[in-house]
Amino acid sequence: MQRPKQTWLTVGLAAGLGGFLALRLGLGLPGWWAWWGSFSAAAFAAYGIDKWQARRPGSPRIPEIVLHLLAAVGGVAGAWIGRSVFRHKTRHPAFAVVLVISTGLHLALWYFFARGR
């Protein structure tokens, strides 16, 4: 893999957007819920894949920035759950900081959109 950041980011975003379309159009979920659900599933899967790759010497890893970005664009819940379930990246303070900031951002957005209705 020559460009792991771009490749993994493309895969993660494609999975999130594909899931969003399936949840929004196929199941009729409200847009915000479909977005969070799909990107949470993508972030959860990314944490699981990276943990699996970490146990295989020489395997290509998912760059940390990709895990951060998947959480930031809407996969906060999946990142928290994946971090806990797979016990992955729990000793990296940067992951906790990014997840706390992303969670605060998404809670503020949720409040803003919920209040507007």
What is the per-residue pLDDT across 12-67, written as a single tens digit (0 to 9) for each? Answer: 889 999 999 999 999 998 888 899 999 999 999 999 998 998 889 888 888 888 99
User: Can you give the pTM of this predicted structure?
Assistant: 0.86
Tokens of 69: 């970005």
Task: Quickly state the pLDDT bin for 2 (edges 50, 70, 90).
Answer: low
Dist CA 108 CA 21 (whole Å): 24
- Cβ atoms of 15 and 45 within 8 Å: the answer is yes
The secondary structure of the chain in percent helix, strand, coil, rounded to multiples of 5, reads: 80, 0, 20
Dist CA 35 CA 37 (whole Å): 6
Q: Domain residue spans in the chain? A: 4-115
